[in-house]
Structure 1
Amino acid sequence: MTGDPTTRALIVVDVQRDFCEGGSLAVAGGAAVAAGISDLLTTEHPYAVVVATRDHHVDPGAHFSAEPDFVDSWPRHCEVGTPGVELHDALTFRDFAAVFDKGEYAAAYSGFEGLSPDGAGLAAFLRERGVDAVDVCGIATDHCVRATALDAAAAGFATTVLLDLTAAVAPDRVATTLTELSAAGVAVR
């Protein structure tokens, strides 16, 4: 860093109906995460840019399975044209600079695999806006939040995961996830 002020973005990962209670791939605490993110963003916040990511599946192949292992294969979720693909109702903040959709025809965990409606990738979008630091929150701690944070750090952004604003598929894997994030230089608070 050159000592210049940090330009920070918030990446809201996959806070969608299907990933919250009542959805086809519900994560315990998902709705509370949606509400917590909304609370963060209704007050004066430190973010120059706020973006969201969404699973946006058309036909992701083996990512969907009738007998999922909940690691690499999953029940059907976040299918384009269904209510489950939409951002959760408790996420009342909707003034995103862009929403990055991912996973139409293949598994995609990181928001950095997604594209905005005009075809921009997340890293380029953030760099064009002078962002050099990102906070990551959303669903799920041990999958898409993890992948997005790792890719953010690999792309050169100072990266922090807001752990209290995440929910995990497998809470027993969070400690391993946090170790992996730390090893990659990702801060957790």
Structure 2
Amino acid sequence: MSRALIIVDVQNDFCEGGSLAVKGGAEVAGAISEYVDAHHSQFDYIVATQDWHIEPGGHFADNPDFIDTWPPHCVAGTRGAELHPDLDTEYIQAYFQKGQFTAAYSGFEGILAPEDAVPTGDRKPGAMPLPDDAAAFTASTFADEDAIGLDDWLQSHDVEDVVIVGIATDYCVMATSLDAVQAGYSVTVVRGLTAGIAADLDDAYAEMELGGVDLA
């Protein structure tokens, strides 16, 4: 049995200074880096997800309700879609991009990004290597019938146990964790390595536990 860490959406737009900032996002980015540095040997694989919006339809709104509609964020190829600079990418082995043409909260809606379209090694802010036309490139990748989803990738690497951290606790972390349970994985969410939108996250934690997620 293999074990994987899934780092959910630790992106500039979801951290302080971003277009859809979550309080404590930058702090969580640094805390995840410290956790990975200390515990990477406990995982066979470490992967990350990214919101990667091209034309997500009604997901974006001029007057968002911050429940189902949101201000523009994590637009493909922009700095806001990049991983936060305090998140060390050294041990991340694969990236899964989601929400290209629709709202997508779960990492299990994402597809594997090509190696030349994601940050690797010692990344500097603003240095994410992208094709000249990132949106067109991602659109063609997303339409590829052979595109690899997160579940396919995890299964191909014999992963049965996943630990989930990231942003936001009550949206993408929760959706990813519940989908992971439904897909048959043993799932743990590390509360101290997430940041949520709501001031009170008790309902989100209760929904995750009810759905079969272990909270650490």
**What's the TM-score bracket when you normalise by the shorter of the two chains?**
over 0.9
1:3 counterpart residue number: none
Gaps of 5+ in 2: 115-146
* Deviation at residue 117 of structure 1 after TM alignment: 2.2
**SS state at 1:120 partner:** coil
Do residues 163 (structure 1) and 191 (structure 2) align? Answer: yes
* Deviation at residue 88 of structure 1 after TM alignment: 0.2
Let me know the Cα RMSD of the aligned residues: 1.0
Structure 1 outlier segments of 4+, above 3 Å: none
**Aligned equivalents of 1:101, 1:64: Cα separation in 2:** 17
Equivalent in 73, 79, 91 of residue 75 of structure 2: 79
**Aligned equivalents of 1:110, 1:117: Cα separation in 2:** 16
2:31 counterpart residue number: 36
Equivalent in 119, 124, 134 of residue 152 of structure 2: 124
1:69 counterpart residue number: 65
**Aligned equivalents of 1:171, 1:162: Cα separation in 2:** 18
**SS state at 2:55 partner:** coil
Q: Which amino acid aligns with 2:183?
A: A
Q: TM-score, normalization: structure 2?
A: 0.82
1:108 counterpart residue number: 104
**Aligned equivalents of 1:73, 1:132: Cα separation in 2:** 34
**SS state at 1:43 partner:** helix
**Aligned equivalents of 1:137, 1:150: Cα separation in 2:** 13
Gaps of 5+ in 1: 1-5
Deviations 1:56-85 (A, max 9, x none): 001101100111111110011000121000
Contact 1:33 1:166 in 2 (8 A): yes
* Deviation at residue 97 of structure 1 after TM alignment: 1.7
Contact 1:41 1:93 in 2 (8 A): no
Deviations 1:105-162 (A, max 9, x none): 1000000000002521111101111110100000000000000000000000000001
**Aligned equivalents of 1:95, 1:53: Cα separation in 2:** 14
Equivalent in 171, 182, 186 of residue 143 of structure 1: 171
Equivalent in 134, 147, 153 of residue 181 of structure 2: 153
Identical-residue share of aligned pairs (%): 50
* Deviation at residue 94 of structure 1 after TM alignment: 3.6
